[in-house]
């Protein structure tokens, strides 16, 4: 029954996605890469939610909450404020310029070499970090819920490889052969399922704790583990309070405002009003994020008494323990949709970056739209296979979510730096952007992978030397320091070696850029809610 429910819901999503996209002209660049610039606010919000909420979030963030409690909600709640900032300041500039990719803007603002470097950083980050992590965490969750090793009589490692390739192949079909609109429509349907299914887990978990009474479960959880409900983290926690005002804000601005896999949904908006609505709707959904991504981890800590082998097993173990068996198939299908969403969204962005920024620019400058799309699809298949091969080797990583965020810092802040300086100045030259990118990548890599290990705290545990902590500054603080350092370098270069002519933003007139009239009051309301949450749990 569980398998039939799983297959039925998954097939329904595929059918609706096909029917909704069959009239889109996907032989054109706009049609394939941006959904024909026809996406509405609701579709954008649903796609943003599902692109973000995959298993690296659901599994990884609940794993951190299992260890340290509600303080890790910062990744969700601060994202809501970030999306408001992007809707007000960045999106109008993006849509005015009519860009399909962030590197396109960088070419106009700086030069082709800067665009090529950034496209290369995006692609390398996606294929070596993001795509494999999504596949690994997704496969691990599915294997745990369906006990795939026992069903097929194979080892856990063999089951992991089998499931990784299953997810990867299906996700590739959406991303490579369906284009952005197929991805966005399937995301929207799965978003509805994810909200329903995701809220079922804390409900059944709290009911389980409260012997049938959800409110008794809440009372028991908060009374038994009050330390898990403090939003202000200490300096040695996953998210110290001080980081909310430094690197946390910056990494959110990068993720929601310049990360191609995310912002591409808003770039496909039919007009600025719909794009801003999409970001604001998604911001409201992110405020609900802790119910799906933090609370289940705390519930799992209570039920399993903190004795799970790995924190990242918390979510899948909780689902198996508390969810009624008839609902497991539906929830697995929803989770499968979330896995596909993040995978195919990132893969679709890789296809876009390669087709527009590399193939048409450096390989075949006179390529037709059809040839660009075909080249992108071919490259997408190659990347998908590569990510599938890499994914199983992540099994030995520590906290998957922490690993993902820290490694992403290698390229995220350098890219954010040159985008921010590019839009806020007129005379900073292209050489400043190149220096900013290179210094950002190199200095962060030296800091985190060469210097930081020297600050490990080593103690003898059961007769074995074990790393029990680290006294080096939190990586989010390092990101903020390097951001300021690189901004200063770029501004100094701009002062002493300015461009000959001031940069003037190009107006493509591709879409109507009349703003949504309710954006500012609704944005302020969202910010007040987030601040209120922190005050309540402080």
Q: Count the residues in the chain.
A: 538
Give me the tens of pLDDT residue by residue for the chain, a chain 538 residues long: 556 665 665 566 556 655 555 555 444 444 444 445 667 888 888 778 777 777 778 888 999 999 999 999 998 899 999 999 999 999 999 998 888 778 888 999 999 899 888 888 888 888 878 888 888 888 888 887 777 888 888 888 899 898 888 888 877 775 555 544 555 566 666 667 777 888 899 999 999 999 999 999 999 999 999 999 998 888 888 889 899 988 999 999 998 998 877 887 788 888 999 999 999 999 998 998 898 899 999 999 999 988 888 888 899 889 889 988 778 777 777 777 777 777 766 777 777 778 877 888 788 877 787 787 778 778 878 888 888 988 888 776 655 666 677 788 898 999 999 999 999 999 999 999 999 999 999 999 999 889 988 887 777 766 666 666 778 888 899 999 999 999 999 999 999 999 999 998 888 888 888 999 999 999 999 999 999 999 988 8
How many CB atoms lie under 10 A from the CB of residue 463? 6
Answer yes or no: are the C-beta atoms of 375 and 359 closer than 8 Å. Answer: yes
> Could you tell me the two tokens for 298?
């705390």
Q: For residue 271, which phi and psi values (nearest 5 degrees)? A: -165, 175
Q: CB under 8 Å to 521, separation ≥6 — which residues?
A: none
d(CA 267, CA 36) in angstroms, rounded, equals 10
> Could you tell me the two tokens for 535?
């005050």
Residue labelled with tokens 């954008």: 44
- Cα–chain center distance at 131: 11
Q: CB under 8 Å to 252, separation ≥6 — which residues?
A: 75, 78, 79, 82
> Could you tell me the two tokens for 342?
């993040």
> Could you tell me the two tokens for 158?
């063999």
> Could you tell me the two tokens for 344?
């195919």
Task: Tell me the three state secondary structure of residue 465.
Answer: strand
Task: Tell me the three state secondary structure of residue 461.
Answer: strand
d(CA 437, CA 401) in angstroms, rounded, equals 25
d(CA 128, CA 346) in angstroms, rounded, equals 12
Answer yes or no: are the C-beta atoms of 262 and 255 closer than 8 Å. Answer: yes
H or E element: which one contains 334? helix 325-352
Answer yes or no: are the C-beta atoms of 133 and 312 closer than 8 Å. Answer: no
Answer yes or no: are the C-beta atoms of 61 and 297 closer than 8 Å. Answer: yes
Answer yes or no: are the C-beta atoms of 179 and 348 closer than 8 Å. Answer: yes
What b/e string do you get for 75-91 counting C-beta neighbours within 10 Å, with b at 16 or more?
bbbbbbbbbbbbbbebb
Q: For residue 457, which phi and psi values (nearest 5 degrees)? A: -95, 115
Under DSSP, the state recorded for 395 is G
Task: Say whether pTM exceeds 0.75.
Answer: yes
Domain ranges within the chain, ordered by starting residue:
2-18+33-323+346-536
d(CA 184, CA 269) in angstroms, rounded, equals 11
Return the CATH number of the domain spanning residue range 2-18+33-323+346-536: 1.20.1730.10
> Could you tell me the two tokens for 49?
């939610």
Cα–Cα nearest to 346, from 32, 50, 73, 78:
50
Cα–Cα nearest to 56, from 48, 47, 64:
64
Q: Give, to the nearest 10 degrees, the angle between helix 400-424 and helix 247-257.
A: 80
């Amino acid at each position: 029954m569980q398998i039939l429910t799983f297959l039925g819901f998954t097939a329904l999503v595929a059918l609706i996605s096909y029917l909704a996209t069959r009239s889109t002209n996907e032989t054109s660049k706009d049609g394939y890469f941006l959904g024909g610039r026809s996406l509405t606010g609701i579709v954008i919000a649903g796609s943003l939610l599902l692109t973000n909420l995959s298993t690296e979030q659901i599994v990884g963030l609940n794993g951190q909450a299992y260890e340290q409690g509600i303080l890790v909600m910062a990744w969700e709640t601060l994202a809501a404020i970030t999306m408001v900032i992007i809707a007000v300041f960045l999106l109008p500039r993006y849509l005015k310029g009519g860009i399909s990719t962030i590197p396109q803007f960088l070419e106009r603002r700086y030069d082709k070499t800067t665009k090529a470097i950034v496209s290369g950083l995006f692609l390398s980050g996606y294929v070596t970090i993001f795509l494999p992590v999504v596949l690994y965490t997704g496969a691990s969750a599915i294997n745990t819920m369906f006990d795939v090793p026992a069903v097929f009589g194979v080892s856990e490692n063999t089951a992991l490889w089998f499931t990784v390739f299953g997810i990867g192949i299906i996700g590739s079909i959406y991303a490579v052969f369906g284009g952005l609109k197929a991805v966005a429509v399937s995301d929207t349907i799965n978003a509805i399922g994810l909200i329903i299914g995701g809220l079922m887990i804390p409900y059944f978990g709290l009911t389980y704790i409260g012997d049938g009474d959800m409110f008794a479960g809440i009372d028991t959880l908060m009374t038994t583990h009050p330390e898990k409900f403090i939003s202000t983290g200490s300096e040695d926690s996953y998210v110290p309070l001080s980081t909310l005002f430094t690197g946390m804000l910056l990494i959110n601005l990068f993720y929601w405002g310049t990360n191609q896999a995310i912002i591409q949904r808003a770039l496909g908006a039919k007009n600025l009003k719909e794009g801003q609505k999409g970001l604001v709707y998604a911001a409201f959904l992110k405020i609900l994020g802790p119910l799906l991504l933090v609370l289940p981890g705390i519930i799992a800590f209570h039920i399993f008494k903190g004795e799970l082998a790995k924190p990242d097993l918390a979510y899948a173990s909780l689902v198996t323990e508390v969810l009624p068996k008839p609902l497991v198939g539906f929830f697995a299908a929803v989770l499968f949709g979330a896995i596909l969403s993040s995978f195919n969204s990132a893969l679709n962005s890789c296809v876009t970056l390669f087709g527009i920024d590399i193939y048409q620019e450096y390989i075949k400058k006179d390529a037709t739209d059809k040839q660009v799309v075909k080249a992108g699809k071919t490259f997408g298949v190659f990347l998908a296979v590569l990510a599938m091969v890499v994914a199983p080797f992540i099994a030995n990583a520590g906290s998957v979510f922490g690993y993902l965020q820290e490694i992403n810092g290698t390229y995220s802040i350098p890219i954010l730096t040159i985008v921010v300086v590019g839009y806020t100045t007129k005379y900073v030259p292209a050489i400043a952007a190149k220096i900013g990118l290179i210094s950002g990548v190199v200095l962060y890599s030296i800091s985190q992978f060469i210097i930081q290990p020297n600050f490990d705290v080593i103690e003898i545990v059961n007769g074995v030397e074990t790393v029990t902590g680290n006294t080096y500054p939190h990586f989010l603080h390092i990101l903020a320091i390097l951001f300021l350092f690189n901004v200063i370098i770029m501004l100094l270069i701009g002062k002493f070696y300015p461009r000959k002519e001031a940069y003037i933003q190009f107006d493509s007139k591709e879409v109507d850029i009349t703003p949504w009239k309710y954006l500012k009051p609704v944005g302020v309301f969202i910010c007040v809610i987030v601040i209120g949450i922190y005050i309540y749990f402080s």
